[in-house]
Homo-oligomer: A and B are copies of this chain.
């Protein structure tokens, strides 16, 4: 998606260790008109897949899921990152390792909100090693939901998570794939 790639080049910040920060427009402050175009792009990619639910994980996926769901006229369900006291006991759970925070956490979804009847598009802001996505796919498998595909705003191609899922036969569509970051410069695949 050219609009997103140009925005990453214009406003993305590269920190030590090749960390790309897009908090000024994607996942802390959110340019809602860009987000609506991102939702439209996912709709164009998946509109014929019979999707009836948009899934993501808190927190930064929720804006993307909401602006995507608007185009599909489908509900959103977001996985929670720790068992909430208010979530109720009937939840699907999957253990995920966060390399960002170097800790494990559980992702949970109330069993009532993900069922065999659901044809799911999973969206998120970033995919690196794909650990969070693997947890969401595991939860969909537990629920018997059909995962029609994955939609990622920014895939870190050099960390391999997206390609590993593609090799497993998962349809993964990323709007921008960073091939590598060299001397502070972003090179897209």
Binding site for B on A (CB under 8 A): 19, 21, 23-25, 28-33, 35-36, 58-59, 62-63, 65-67, 69-70, 73-78, 80, 85-88, 100-101, 109-110, 112-113
Contact = CB atoms under 8 A, between A and B. Distances in A.
Contacts of A86: 19, 21, 23, 100
Nearest to A23: B110
Given A21-B86, A63-B66, A66-B66, A30 B76 contact: yes
B29 A73 contact: no
A69 B100 contact: no
A59 B104 CA distance: 19
A30 B85 CA distance: 19
Contact of A80 (B32, B59, B62): B59
B36 A70 contact: yes
Contact of A59 (B23, B29, B58): B58
A24 B113 contact: yes
A31 to B, nearest CB: 6
Nearest to A81: B59
A102 to B, nearest CB: 9
24 contacts: A23-B110, A23-B113, A24-B112, A28-B80, A28-B109, A29-B75, A29-B76, A29-B77, A30-B69, A30-B75, A30-B76, A32-B69, A32-B70, A32-B75, A33-B73, A36-B70, A59-B78, A59-B80, A62-B63, A63-B65, A63-B76, A66-B66, A66-B67, A85-B101
A24 B53 CA distance: 13
Contacts of A80: 28, 59
A66 B30 contact: yes
